[in-house]
Amino acid sequence: MSLIRSNKEDAIRISIWSGPRNISTAMMRSFGSRPECQAVDEPFYAYYLAKTGLRHPMYEEVIASQPTDWRVVAKSLNAPLAPGSMLYIKHMTHHMTPEVDLSSFQGHRNCFLIRDPKRVIVSYAAKWDRIATEDIGIKRQLEIFRTLEKLTGQTPVVVEAEDILKRPEATLKKLCAALDIPWRKEMLSWQKGRHAEDGAWAAHWYASVEETTGFAPYEERQVELKPDLMDLLAEQLPFYEELRSHKI
């Protein structure tokens, strides 16, 4: 893994690339607790729904809440920032259709948040009837990883969700070092409830995280996959394992 180095006075943009049901909102809470950091929640969601026509929960609210042109979104994410500030962008990889120019993120510090696909599939299936490779985003996550590696000449940072849940402080310190940002203890806790940066879809998806004030003590939970989802799991494993080979 290549560590990221830059001028300490520069504003920092951190793009975190995740699939759904993968502690991505908790991570947004964690980084959003840093005093210098502004968080952005899934800025390409409205674009994705408009492009695909998928009728996700709260479709109308999502479409109304964000620009539906990916170019407008990318331009806003690269707008000038105050020196010393930080922009944390929570991406869902399946929102990034092939037409999106990934060079828009060439100057960002890119990090890939991965999770055991079995746990992703079980969690996603509990919230939404349709589930396919395109929905859970692990294949697309690997495609974006490879593209950004070529564009930047650096291997992006990869961090595993279970490592954060088991050892929050140690893993977040390691992640901050890999992103070349200072560790801040504020990242371990946050205010309960809805946050200003939460997307319009929070009412449907964020009930659990809204009850939290930090990373809870880890509890090992066994998950069982329905037989009709076993082929879907098998399809994801090679993508996940390749990404996992790069984790910090």
pLDDT, tens digit, 9 for 90 and up, residues 148-180: 999 999 999 999 999 999 999 999 999 999 999
Average pLDDT in the chain? 93
Q: pTM for this one?
A: 0.92
Sheet containing strand 86-92, edge to edge, reads: 37-41, 86-92, 12-18, 109-114, 157-160
- Better pLDDT: 7 or 79: 79
- Domain regions of the chain by residue span: 12-244
Distances 125 to 74, 122, 129, 132, 224 between C-alpha atoms, Å? 30, 5, 6, 10, 12
pLDDT, tens digit, 9 for 90 and up, residues 210-235: 999 999 888 888 888 888 899 999 99
> Which fold would CATH assign to domain 12-244?
Rossmann fold (3.40.50)
What DSSP state is assigned to residue 131?
-
pLDDT, tens digit, 9 for 90 and up, residues 10-32: 899 999 999 888 899 999 999 99
